[in-house]
Chain A
Amino acid sequence: GENVEQHPSTLSVQEGDSAVIKCTYSDSASNYFPWYKQELGKRPQLIIDIRSNVGEKKDQRIAVTLNKTAKHFSLHITETQPEDSAVYFCAASANDYKLSFGAGTTVTVRA
């Protein structure tokens, strides 16, 4: 089955700096890659997703890049703000409903 690895497990950044989270996946058939954000005590919520027919997608301060050859994808958050502090999960899916999640990255934005 699919194995998704996510790094780093924790990330502390100064407000205004950028944050980058990287994920690798094992199943070359995977073609859907969503990112979820889970604030403390709240439910995971989708923040951005990318499909295998594109290499990059951007939505305001967040962007995701995909390298299918290397089987890795990354989340980039620019100009970080305190409200960006949360746990971020990457996931991968190969033509079915089974989302395989990474272990999560706890992001802390220091004021």
Chain B
Amino acid sequence: ETGVTQTPRHLVMGMTNKKSLKCEQHLGHNAMYWYKQSAKKPLELMFVYNFKEQTENNSVPSRFSPECPNSSHLFLHLHTLQPEDSALYLCASSQDTGWTEAFFGQGTRLTVV
């Protein structure tokens, strides 16, 4: 167990639904990340938070809305998604930004119908 927990593990939602993904880490890390993993594609960095402040938005559509209320929790709010948004969404944390190991959660498998 690496200390990064994501819920739910699986989510099926319609295109008009609103849902949220949750990530929690108790490693004392200061940086948290959202990645998207699609089949046969590189891991795509979506958002970066450092000390609760968003430091990176990698041209992500506004239908994805992150929230970081504290250094231990990270949310990804979803609304009006498209079928092509179906993917594995991975949360990760690291001690700080820079050359430190990223610890990943097990991901949320999202299916948009």
| Given known A9-B40, A44-B43, A103-B41, contact A93–B106 (CB-CB < 8 A) | no
B43 and A89: CB pair below 8 A?
yes
Which A residue's beta carbon lies closest to that of B38? A103
- Determine which of A34, A36, A93, A97 lies in contact with B48 in the assembled complex, contact meaning CB atoms within 8 Å: A97
- Determine which of A9, A93, A100 lies in contact with B99 in the assembled complex, contact meaning CB atoms within 8 Å: A93
Tell me the count of chain B residues lying within 8 A, CB to CB, of chain A. Answer: 24
Stretch with Cβ within 8 A of B (4 or more), from A11-19, A45-53, A62-70: A45-53
* Chain A interface residues (CB < 8 Å from chain B): 4, 6, 9, 32, 34, 36, 42-46, 49, 51, 89, 91, 93, 95-104
A1 vs B4: C-alpha distance in the bound complex, in angstroms?
Answer: 28
- Determine which of A42, A96, A100, A101 lies in contact with B97 in the assembled complex, contact meaning CB atoms within 8 Å: A96
A98 vs B40: C-alpha distance in the bound complex, in angstroms?
Answer: 20
Q: Given contacts A43-B4, A45-B2, A102-B42, list 6 more A-B pairs with CB under 8 A.
A: A44-B90, A91-B43, A95-B98, A97-B50, A101-B43, A104-B40
Which A residue's beta carbon lies closest to that of B107? A43
Which B residue's beta carbon lies closest to that of A3? B42
A73 vs B86: C-alpha distance in the bound complex, in angstroms?
Answer: 31
